[in-house]
Amino acid sequence: MDSNSIVSIVSKFSKAWGQMLGSVDVAIDLGTAVTRIGIVGKGIVLKEPTFIGLNTKTNEYIFFGEEAKQIYGKTPNFIKIVKPVENSILSDFDACVALIDAFTKRAVFPYYAHNRLIRTGLNAYVSIPSSATEVQQKATAEAVKRVGYVRAMLIQKPFLAAMGAGFNIFGQTPIFVVDIGAGSVEIAVIIMGGIVASRTLILGGDNLDRHIANYIHLKYGIITGELTVEGLKPSLLNYENHDASATIRGKSLENGLPKSVKITSSDIREAISPAINQLIDGIKEVIETLPPEIVDGVFRTGAVLTGGLGTCPGLDHFISSEVKIPIIASQSSENATMQGLLTLATQKDVLPRILV
């Protein structure tokens, strides 16, 4: 018997064994800023920053998630901290495999500890941007399979965000969803399990952070660390005319020394206003492309806001006043995509209709 036949027999045996043990459905949302993992029937079991650290001397990944983010920008040259997802798409394949592997071992294995064979029965339900190309879809599925998942089922993010926000995406009422994450904004109108109009904008939280960093640079003359800037949105950004302030430290452009400056909510609103205007234009463009029968429904039911930016106080009402349709932030805004994965993974009858 040649080695290929042996591999094939072993693979068939392990698959059958995995099925005998009962497969485990795992939901994976590899976001630009945050990776979430859930187990169907148990809920969310991991929420960690999408950061990984490589020791370039040994070529080993040694820091994962929060521990990698904590040392971002503070490491010696031979330790490289990377964000392996950019604009919501895998940008560093090997790093993504290593990250999913580490997170799976950390969060999924404890539930099935001491039983390596169960690993053959792990199914992955994975979120994917609606704009992902076929090559990007294949890379995402391949990354998950490399970790040891038997199957990787990809589902487009707008379906997941809408489902996670509590809507029936298979019904005849149009669902308008605007998911604002760290890497991209997904704007889509869904009806009867299909997308009738959509746009993806590279305008997520990371893009807003770049606007904020530029603004601070120009107005206050300091260079700030990426993580310092990222921390400003949750504490200062709101559209409720409530002005908060925070003192941050950066490097003075004048003399290169550390310098403190006070940043206010109105600074942040002003800094990101060009990006928010682009977002508003994107939503208007999607509305303009809708067929007349659907546009009427959308004006009555409005849109739901999901994603990390959905938790920004008053952003929903601000956008609503500009685009003239009701917009409400989802209660489960931040985790909507993950909730959608966990819900859809249980709906085996309708699932094939929306798998990529």
Binding site for ligand ATP (CB under 6 A): 31-34, 88, 181-184, 204-205, 230, 233-234, 237, 307-309, 311-312, 334
* Other CB atoms within 10 A of residue 247 CB: 8
For residue 282, the partner it binds in Mg ion, ligand ATP, none, with Cβ less than 5 to 8 A by kind, is none
Interaction of residue 205 with Mg ion, rule CB under 5 A = no
User: In the beta sheet, which residues pair with residue 28?
Assistant: 37, 126
d(CA 77, CA 119): 36
Q: Which is it for strands 222-223 and 122-128: parallel, antiparallel or unpaired?
A: unpaired
Secondary structure of residue 242 in the 3-state scheme: coil
25 binds, among ligand ATP, Mg ion, none (CB under 5 to 8 A by kind): none
Considering only residues 332 to 351 of the shown chain, the ones binding Mg ion according to CB under 5 A are 337
Q: 159, 169 in Cβ contact below 8 A?
A: yes
**Does residue 158 contact residue 195 with C-beta atoms inside 8 Å?**
yes
> 222 or 305: whose CB is closer to Mg ion?
305
Single out the segment in contact with Mg ion by CB under 5 A; choices: 6-14, 169-177, 178-186, 322-330: 178-186
Pairing of strands 122-128, 24-30: parallel
Alpha-carbon gap, residue 160 to 40, rounded angstroms = 14
User: Which DSSP state fits 40?
Assistant: T
Q: Which one of the spans 40-48, 117-125, 175-183, 234-242 is the region binding Mg ion (CB under 5 A)?
A: 175-183
Closer to ligand ATP by CB, 144 or 290: give it: 144
Q: Which is nearer to ligand ATP, 25 or 230 (CB)?
A: 230
Residue 184 interacting entry, from ligand ATP, Mg ion, none, C-beta within 5 to 8 Å by type: ligand ATP
Does residue 181 interact with Mg ion by CB under 5 A?
yes
Q: What residue number has its CB nearest to Mg ion?
A: 181
Q: How far is CA 58 from CA 50, 53, 144, 147, 356, in A?
A: 22, 12, 24, 21, 37
The nearest distance, CB 195 to Mg ion, in angstroms, is 17
Regarding 164 and contact with Mg ion (CB under 5 A), the answer is: no
Binding-site partner at residue 32 among Mg ion, ligand ATP, none, CB < 5 to 8 Å by type: ligand ATP
32 touches 181 (CB < 8 A): yes
Task: Please choose which of Mg ion, ligand ATP, none residue 38 contacts, taking the beta carbon within 5 to 8 angstroms, the exact cut-off set by kind.
Answer: none
Residue 275: CB minimum distance to ligand ATP, A: 12
Answer with the entry of Mg ion, ligand ATP, none that 320 interacts with (C-beta below 5 to 8 A by kind): none
- Cβ contacts of residue 14 below 8 Å, gap of 6+? 117, 120
With residues binned 3-state (H G I as helix, E B as strand, rest as coil), the percentages for the chain, rounded to 5, are 45, 25, 30
Tokens of 160: 């997941």
Q: Which of 24, 25, 31, 149 binds Mg ion (CB under 5 A)?
A: 31
Stretches 191-199, 260-268, 316-324, 329-337: which one binds Mg ion (CB under 5 A)?
A: 329-337
Q: From the list Mg ion, ligand ATP, none, pick the one residue 182 interacts with, judged by a Cβ distance below 5 to 8 Å according to partner type.
A: ligand ATP
Task: Supply the DSSP string of 40-74, one letter for each residue.
Answer: TTTEEEEEEES-EEEETTTTEEEEETHHHHHTTT-
Strand, coil or helix: 314: coil
Q: Which residues bind Mg ion (CB under 5 A)?
A: 31, 181, 337
